[in-house]
Amino acid sequence: MDRRNFLHSGAAGAWSLSAAQAFAAGENKRVGLIGSGWYGKADLLRLIQVAPVEVVSLCDVDKKMVEEAAELVSTRQRSKKKPRTFHDYREMLKQKDLDIVLIATPDHWHALPMIEACKAGVDIYVQKPISVDVVEGQAMVAAARKYGRVVQVGTQRRSTPHLIEARDRIIKEGKLGNIAYVEICCYYHMRATANPPDTAPPPNLDYEFWTGPAPMRPYNDLCHPRRWRAFMEYGNGIVGDMCVHMLDMTRWMMDLGWPLSISSSGGILVDKKSKANISDTQEATFDFGGTKVVWTHRSWGHPPDPKYPWAATFYGDKGTLKAGVMSYDYIPMSKSEQPIHKDVAYELDQYPEDRTEKDLERHVAPAIRGHMVDLLKNIASRGKPVADIEQGHISTASCILANLSMQLGRTLRWDPVRHQVTGDAEATRLLRRAYRKPWTHPEPSKV
């Protein structure tokens, strides 16, 4: 679809002016991808759909994966050119031929490539959560500001059409009244339940480089691809993966900043046979003063509301809003007011390739496209995108603090100015994970 047809299609919709600006910004933009697995390809192919970019390079430590991604991209981008492939992101960035870099590596590999991309003078789309520890996130924000880069974080609920409508039509118009309590949750059975034996890594994977700054574990099939979230060494469990989305969505809808305190409890309560070391059950309370946001995940049993297994429920004194990736429902307290329901829009007629793309979360594709349009618009204006790196840091760090609270068994009171846990030296020390040599942990003052 060319630029003219896109701007006249129904897909442009509410984005028409923004899309026009984004397309102007997107002309001849040269793009690279670091991390060519499942979501890296999903993000990159959505960007190709909304802007005439040229994908010039892909990077991955799995040579089979990166070659397959290069072949796929050559069939989808307008030039039909096959991108160059790289093993080391530093070598890719040294070429100085990129305008935008997408980072979709495992979480433990977000900070270092993002900071190097800032130094290389490119704008960035980095997947959530932005970091595996709080100090990494601080350094990422510092790098973006120091080098003047536009950075969009992959918390694409902020660009989900029906959720934008729910925010504007329900919350912003005051239909809920006073919102003192929000429940956020994930009841997907997504935690790895297998206990496969450790093996040698496959010959196509550089496991030493894949591990990078994380602790070295014996290779296991759960590590690569896609199931690495089974291990806390590479991420922050289901809180870091799924809570970050719903917490970020809640903060965006209600204009909330940092929580004042965070408390959490849980652990591996049911599935004790799996090799996974992340919690299968966990609750966390993010106290924002006037509003408490309470998270629950449980990777076993049935969800309380099967229609909203991964969602946020906003409780106001005038009504309730249930908001998830598939729909939203507004239920007023007054019997004289009508409920409101809205389903996700798929845009399959405008983007027919979404119907057949392998492993694509079709309901999320419109949100990713919106997120990419917003990124391009802000690259043109040099403004802050809707999921700016600082917003991603707040949501990510809050989830990391929830895990630290569960680990330590106590409530953590957060000082966002000093970036410390108030009156808790032990918790503050845990804001920085040890890096495996020869990798060096980034510091906010040294980026």
3 state SS of 189: coil
Tell me, yes or no, whether 104 and 235 share the same domain.
Answer: no
Coil, strand or helix: which one is 30? strand
- Has residue 94 been placed in a domain? yes
- What is the gyration radius of the CA atoms in the chain, in angstroms? 21
Quote the number of domains for the chain: 2
Q: Are residues 125 and 220 in the same domain?
A: no
Question: Are 73 and 107 in a shared domain?
Answer: yes
Instruction: Cite the DSSP H helix spans in 2-102.
Output: 3-8, 16-26, 38-50, 63-76, 89-94
Residues 169 and 140 in one domain: no
In a domain, 28, yes or no: yes
Low-confidence ranges of the chain (pLDDT < 70): 1-27
Q: Is 275 exposed, middle or buried (0-12, 13-18, 19+ CB in 10 A)?
A: middle
- Domain membership of residue 40 as a residue range: 8-158+365-388
- Start-end of H helices in 350-408: 365-381, 389-408
In this structure, the answer to whether residues 128 and 205 fall within a common structural domain is no
424 within domain boundaries = yes
pLDDT given for residue 110 in this prediction: 98
Which residues in 47-129 belong to E strands, given as ranges?
A: 54-59, 84-86, 100-103, 123-126
* Alpha carbon distance 271, 277 (integer Å): 10
User: Are residue 35 and residue 165 in the same domain, yes or no?
Assistant: no
Asked whether residue 354 is domain-assigned, the answer is no
CATH of the domain at 69: 3.40.50.720
* Cα→Cα distances 393→85, 382, 424, Å: 30, 20, 21
Looking up tokens 């690279």 gives 32
For residues 17 and 437, give the distance between their C-alpha atoms in angstroms, rounded to a whole number: 48
51 in a domain, yes or no? yes
**Do both 408 and 306 map to the same domain?**
yes
Short-list 105, 91, 81, 109, CA closest to 33: 105
Distance (Å, rounded) from C-alpha 406 to C-alpha 284? 8
Structure tokens at 120: 């290389």
pLDDT for 28 equals: 82
Print burial letters for 153-171: b (CB count within 10 Å at least 16), e (below 16): bbbbbbbbbbbbebbebbb
Per the domain annotation, does 446 fall within a domain?
no
Same domain, 33 and 62: yes
**pLDDT for res 12:** 38
User: How far, in Å, are 133, 148, 425 from residue 422 at the CA level?
Assistant: 17, 31, 8
352 preceded by cis ω (within 30°)? no
For residue 299, the model assigns a pLDDT of 97
Kindly list the distances between the CA atom of residue 271 and the CA atoms of 232, 299, 403, in Å, as whole numbers in the listed order. 16, 9, 19
Same domain, 281 and 419: yes
Write the pLDDT tens digit of every residue in 388-427.
999 999 999 999 999 999 999 999 999 999 999 999 999 9
* Same domain (yes/no): 116, 85: yes
- 5: Cα within 13 Å, side-chain hemisphere: 6
pLDDT in tens, 193-204: 999 999 999 999
Q: 434 lies in a domain?
A: no
- Mark whether 166 and 153 lie in a shared domain: no
Whether 444 is covered by a domain: the verdict is: no
pLDDT in tens, 204-222: 999 999 999 999 999 999 9
Do residue 283 and residue 150 come from a single domain?
Answer: no
Q: Which CATH number do you get for residue 276? A: 3.30.360.10
